[in-house]
Amino acid sequence: MLDNLTTRLAKVVKTLRGQARLTEDNIQDALREVRMALLEADVALPVVKDFIARVKEKAVGTEVLSSLTPGQALVGVVHRELTDLMGGAHIGLNLATQPPAIILMAGLQGAGKTTTTGKLGKMLSERMKKKVMAVSTDVYRPAAIAQLQMVAQQAGIEFFPSTADQKPVDIALAAVDYARRHYIDVLLVDTAGRLAIDQAMMEEIQALHAAVNPIETLFVVDAMLGQDAVNTARAFNEALPLTGVVLTKLDGDARGGAALSVRHVTGKPLKFAGVGEKLGGLEEFHPERMASRILG
């Protein structure tokens, strides 16, 4: 991923690293390259503008110009600002509540909610030794409940059965009740998605949220969506008190713009990255590492 951005920035970095002195002129040139690279990587325009302004402010300040190695210093500024743009430090899941800790999975159909539910379940169960259960409230797609059941089995976590003739809120409440009585540590609630944002879907997930009062509400978004990821993120962020974002399909040829924009638009931390179809393909999202990866 991010190949294009990396290649462009690498070029800028190479040129700048060789500069003994930086002038306003070559800072301008460098920033133009960075701007182009970010736009080509599908980062939303307002985000790019904001980013460039912040880098410029620091770059033309004393920090860079008075540095012994101004090229390196500018690269350092870009690195720090990229890290900041993606949220600064890694923020993990918050499970500090009376069990079961409920995690609500939100997002469009095809974003990777069910897969991510399985991945999270596997991670929590294997690495953190939690007793995890998953439940599907997707009563619209006939195969959705069966899909989660299969995923849960592969992940080695418990599965709470539901059927298409039930109401989503009833399913969720029954699952919470069961989880409480059976000492489940974490209950993952998978939800229905639509191909596009629609009012009925938003109302349904708002009702689910109100009914189960989750400690984490994760917005799952496909990094390949580029600019559309930003619009979807905005809509979900307005409808629900999101606590974090999972960016999926970062193993594909996503240009990376979503990673840079979604945090900026929602103000919510990117907590995990999906990096494959398999249930092991989930990584904690580390802004600093991602910035290093972008800069190459």
Strand 270-274, strand 282-284: pairing: antiparallel
Pattern 102-121, ligand GDP, x by CB under 6 A: -----x-xxxxxxx------
Choose one: 26-34, 128-136, 176-184, 248-256; the region binding ligand GDP (CB under 6 A).
248-256
Q: How far is the CB of 94 from ligand GDP (least distance, A)?
A: 22
Task: Please say whether the beta carbons of 156 and 130 come within 8 A.
Answer: no
Alpha helices in the chain (DSSP H): 3-17, 24-40, 45-59, 62-65, 70-85, 113-126, 142-155, 168-181, 199-212, 227-239, 257-266, 287-295
By CB under 6 A, tell whether 274 contacts ligand GDP. yes
CA-nearest of 260, 217, 214, 243 to 91 is: 243
191 is in an annotated binding site: yes
CA-nearest of 62, 66, 59 to 80 is: 59
The rounded distance, in Å, linking the Cα atoms of 285 and 92 is 9
The smaller minimum CB distance to ligand GDP, of residues 38 and 218, is found at: 218
Task: Please say whether the beta carbons of 78 and 55 come within 8 A.
Answer: yes
Q: How far is the CB of 148 from ligand GDP (least distance, A)?
A: 8
Helix axes 70-85, 257-266, angle to 10 degrees: 60
Choose one: 61-69, 123-131, 273-281, 283-291; the region binding ligand GDP (CB under 6 A).
273-281
> Which of 217, 248, 261, 266 is in the footprint of ligand GDP by CB under 6 A?
248
By CB under 6 A, tell whether 249 contacts ligand GDP. yes
Please, which residues bridge with residue 272 across strands?
A: 246, 284
By CB under 6 A, tell whether 217 contacts ligand GDP. no
Residue nearest to ligand GDP (CB): 274
177 is in an annotated binding site: no
By CB under 6 A, tell whether 193 contacts ligand GDP. yes
The rounded distance, in Å, linking the Cα atoms of 281 and 288 is 20
Annotated binding-site positions for GTP: 107-114, 190-194, 248-251
Annotated binding-site positions: 107-114, 190-194, 248-251
Residues contributing to the site for ligand GDP (CB under 6 A): 107, 109-115, 193, 248-249, 251-252, 274-277, 281
